[in-house]
């Protein structure tokens, strides 16, 4: 076959894959069953039901799924109460609050301290010792500041309790884990944007707060599901997505959409002529510390993993977004593949350590995370997109299955393209330097995820 004919055949195959993706009813049915599974936090019954759904889908795709169990510290939510006032009197006004995963139980009465975004600089500017520290979600300038960093810095500064404030209006208390797989040191809750605004005013007036949190931890098991597609080659591409979710909502967007994208991509890849073996995995424990992806990475010979595609956030909005971690070869494949399918692609090049590709990337495996980016004129992104993740509003009605289907098709094309590409290994010394240049080291140390030896 000459070059032009080969190009035409490849384009026809890609068009067939995209056409199948856009007409397949599977993603919608899968998401309905997934969001009906119940509490999908690691070690809870809904997580096991989600793993069974993934196993069934991979079996249908011919991926011969197996279960990979791993020990976890399971966190179980209890009640949470927060009351505050603008004076030194006993707190009187009550606020809706939710415990943040891995919060310990506790009962604290202490002054309110407003630490802004909770950056080290802002914490240095106020006396947080013995206080109930307020920290808003989001970044400081261009640097991403993860909640675990905010919590870690507040604890190190002597905080008695921690309150995370949702950045997005809508009356939704926000959740999110405090530590990677282990209990935190002081009680912590999430509140809504509106509650945070009032609490901030109380803090400015010398207010006090009373925080009561109930929570339990015990030893349990998490469950990954792993299958394989394609030829029996020694090296492989890993395609993964996390199946767990926070228990306050249904986890439809985070990461139900991403999981549906990955599973549907596996179904599509089963009919493609792959150059390398593809390991497909639904992993658990992402929301509580990237635990399932660590178990998966530990089970593989990472020297034989040529690339990892982590689907965390794809399918949530109209356009695809790629985190390429500054890897030029990965970005080139992503752009050529997605733009070759005449679809837009947003690219974020800065290294991003807070998702399931991290255990692979830190070991030198080229990594790509697939997320979503709304069109610039899409006014629905605020209340219907990212801000409802990690809240009780993360429910099935927010899902646009058209985006899920399209991203699944593009994901399949990307995995196939990466399977046919010899990518250079990641220089981990260079990766560490780029994280330092991005001012990420202090935050990763506060969160407990800076690798030993770096």
Whole-number pLDDT of residue 382: 39
Whole-number pLDDT of residue 383: 35
Residue 378 has pLDDT above 90, yes or no: no
Whole-number pLDDT of residue 443: 85
Q: Name residue, tokens 């919590």.
A: 151
Strand partners, 279: 228, 238
Residue 135 has pLDDT above 60, yes or no: yes
Whole-number pLDDT of residue 144: 76
User: What SS3 class is residue 59?
Assistant: helix
- Whether 189 contacts 99, CB under 8 Å: yes
Phi (first) and psi of residue 320, to 5 degrees: -85, 145
- 162-214 pLDDT, tens per residue? 999 999 999 999 999 999 999 999 999 999 999 999 999 999 999 999 999 99
- 8-42 pLDDT, tens per residue? 557 788 999 999 999 999 999 999 999 999 999 99
Residue 310 has pLDDT above 60, yes or no: yes
- 88-123 pLDDT, tens per residue? 777 789 999 999 999 999 999 999 999 999 998 999
Average pLDDT over residues 324-344: 97
Q: Which residue from 229, 199, 224 is spatially nearest to 211, judged by alpha carbons?
A: 199
Q: Where are the domains of the chain?
A: 3-73+220-447, 77-216
CA distances from 37 to 42, 208, 280 (A): 13, 40, 21
Question: The whole model's pTM is what?
Answer: 0.95
Whole-number pLDDT of residue 447: 81
Residue 7 has pLDDT above 80, yes or no: no
What does the DSSP assignment read for 357-368? THHHHTTT--EE
**Range scoring the smallest mean pLDDT among 140-154, 164-178, 206-220, 327-341:** 140-154
Region 77-216: CATH code = 3.50.30.30
- 400-442 pLDDT, tens per residue? 999 999 999 999 999 999 999 999 999 999 999 999 998 899 8
Residue 6 has pLDDT above 80, yes or no: no
Whole-number pLDDT of residue 379: 45
Whole-number pLDDT of residue 384: 37
Whole-number pLDDT of residue 87: 81
C-beta neighbour count of 453 within 10 angstroms: 6
Residue 1 has pLDDT above 90, yes or no: no
Q: Tell me the C-alpha distance between 256 and 236, whole Å.
A: 25
Share of the chain above pLDDT 90, in %: 87
Mean pLDDT of the chain: 93
Whole-number pLDDT of residue 12: 81
Structure-token pair, residue 406: 């399209």
How far is Cα of residue 217 from the mean position of the Cα atoms in its chain?
Answer: 22
Whole-number pLDDT of residue 94: 97
Residue 141 has pLDDT above 80, yes or no: no
**With left for phi above 0 and alpha for psi between -120 and 50, is residue 400 left, alpha or beta?**
beta
What CATH number does domain 3-73+220-447 carry, 1.10.10.10, 1.10.3720.10, 3.40.630.10, 3.40.1160.10?
3.40.630.10
User: What SS3 class is residue 384?
Assistant: helix
- 221-274 pLDDT, tens per residue? 999 999 999 999 999 999 999 999 999 999 999 999 999 999 999 999 999 999
- Whether 254 contacts 389, CB under 8 Å: yes
What does the DSSP assignment read for 135-196? EESS-BTTB---HHHHHHHHHHTT-SEEEEE-SS-SS------SSSSS--SS-EEEE-HHHH
Residue 298 has pLDDT above 80, yes or no: yes
Average pLDDT over residues 125-138: 95
Residue 355 has pLDDT above 80, yes or no: yes
């Amino acid at each position: 076959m000459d070059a032009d004919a080969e190009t035409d055949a490849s384009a026809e195959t890609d068009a067939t894959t995209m056409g199948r993706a856009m007409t397949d009813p599977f993603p919608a049915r899968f998401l309905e069953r997934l969001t009906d599974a119940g509490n999908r936090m690691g070690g809870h019954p809904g997580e096991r039901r989600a793993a069974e759904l993934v196993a069934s889908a991979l079996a249908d795709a011919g991926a011969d799924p197996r279960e990979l169990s791993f020990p976890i510290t399971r966190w179980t939510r209890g009640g949470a109460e927060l009351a505050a006032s603008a004076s030194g009197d006993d707190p009187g006004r009550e606020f809706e609050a939710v415990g943040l995963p891995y919060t310990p139980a506790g009962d604290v009465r202490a002054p309110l301290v407003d630490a802004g975004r909770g950056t080290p600089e802002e914490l240095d500017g106020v006396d947080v010792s013995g206080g109930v520290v307020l920290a808003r979600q989001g970044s400081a300038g261009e640097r991403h500041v993860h909640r675990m960093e905010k919590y870690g810095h507040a604890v190190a500064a002597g905080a008695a309790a921690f309150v995370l404030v949702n950045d997005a209006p809508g009356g939704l208390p926000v959740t999110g884990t405090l530590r990677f797989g282990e209990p935190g040191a002081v009680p912590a809750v999430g509140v809504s944007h509106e509650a945070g605004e009032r609490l901030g005013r109380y803090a400015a007036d010398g207010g006090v707060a009373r925080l009561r949190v109930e929570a339990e931890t015990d030893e349990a098991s998490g469950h990954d599901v792993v299958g394989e597609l394609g030829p029996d080659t020694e090296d492989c591409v890993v395609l993964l997505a996390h199946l767990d979710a926070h228990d306050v909502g249904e986890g439809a967007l985070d990461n139900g959409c991403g999981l549906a994208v990955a599973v549907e991509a596996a179904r599509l890849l089963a009919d493609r002529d792959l150059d390398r073996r593809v390991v497909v995995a639904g992993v658990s424990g992402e929301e509580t510390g990237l635990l399932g992806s660590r178990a998966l990475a530990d089970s593989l010979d990472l020297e034989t993993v040529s690339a990892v595609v982590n689907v965390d956030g794809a399918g949530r909005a109209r356009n695809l977004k790629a985190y390429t971690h500054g890897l030029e070869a990965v970005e080139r494949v992503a752009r050529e593949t997605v733009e070759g399918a005449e679809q837009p692609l947003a690219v974020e090049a800065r290294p991003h350590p807070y998702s399931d590709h991290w255990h692979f990337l830190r070991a030198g495996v080229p990594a790509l995370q697939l997320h979503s980016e709304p069109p610039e004129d899409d006014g629905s992104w605020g209340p219907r997109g990212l801000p409802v993740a990690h809240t009780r509003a993360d429910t099935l009605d927010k899902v646009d299955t058209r985006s899920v289907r399209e991203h699944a098709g593009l994901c399949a094309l990307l995995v196939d393209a990466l399977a046919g590409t010899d990518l250079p290994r990641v220089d981990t010394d260079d990766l560490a330097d780029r994280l330092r240049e991005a001012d990420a080291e202090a935050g990763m140390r506060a969160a407990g995820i800076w690798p030993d030896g770096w």
